[in-house]
Amino acid sequence: MKIRNKKFIYLISPNKIKNKSFYYSLNLVLKSKKINFFQLRLKKESIKKKLIIAKKILKICKKNKVKFIVNDDPYLALKVNADGCHLGQKDMNVIEAKKILKNKIIGVTCHNSIKLAKKALINGANYIALGAFYKTKTKKVRFNADINTLIKIKKSVNLPVVAIGGIHDKNYKKLLLNKADFLAISSYIWNNKKFKPHQAIKSLT
């Protein structure tokens, strides 16, 4: 998987996609050419609703040359022909997911653990996600990571690293300077009280 520093953002969807205006905003955000991946992360929707939303998002991602990743569900990723799937530690394991998705991208959440990162590498993951690095309202934080965690795991495991958790315009550069390959961002884009989504993405230079 190529690492392109200009496209350093791994954008995660809001927890709910309520209306059509989201798709317009998404297209504007992806036009920024800063986003490498877009992950659909809807925990409380039905499979049917996720399928409808995923198909709409896939078109927008393809138009803007952004990789479309489905959270948690390899079968849904296969059904919509997404570029890949992201797995948490309680989801299907990488080996099983690879049987379903063949050569598609598979990422794994490894929290702050070298052991989990090494296991992901051995099992054939394409990237790992580490964090949370900062306070976040997007999800409950059970594991915390810091710059030392990032440096240690980058030295031990030869996989692209996505840094997650509370990343915004005031703290993102430190992670990039310490070799995070991608930054997972959600609330700063979708729930920003100061900026609209397309303005928020512009502030991350």
Q: For residue 2, what pLDDT is reported?
A: 41
- Check whether 93 has a pLDDT greater than 80: yes
Return the closest-CA partner of residue 123 out of 155, 153, 87.
87
Strands 182-185 and 9-12: parallel
Tokens at residue 17, please?
């996609």
Distance CA(132)–CA(145), nearest Å, equals: 6
pLDDT tens-digit series, residues 1-13: 444 458 999 999 9
Whether the Cβ atoms of residue 115 and residue 152 lie closer than 8 Å to each other: no
Instruction: Phi first, then psi: give them for residue 140, nearest 5 degrees.
Output: -70, 135
- Check whether 140 has a pLDDT greater than 80: no
pLDDT tens-digit series, residues 42-79: 988 999 999 999 999 999 999 999 999 999 999 999 99
The full set of domain ranges for the chain reads 9-202
Q: Among residues of the chain, what percentage have pLDDT more than 90?
A: 90
Whether the Cβ atoms of residue 133 and residue 184 lie closer than 8 Å to each other: no
Looking at residues 99-126, what average pLDDT do you find? Answer: 97
Q: What is the dihedral of CA 80, 87, 24, 5, to 10 degrees?
A: -110
Q: For residue 18, what pLDDT is reported?
A: 85
CATH topology of domain 9-202: TIM Barrel (3.20.20)
pLDDT tens-digit series, residues 147-188: 999 999 999 999 999 999 999 999 999 999 999 999 999 999
Residues 61, 66, 68: CA angle, nearest 5 degrees: 65
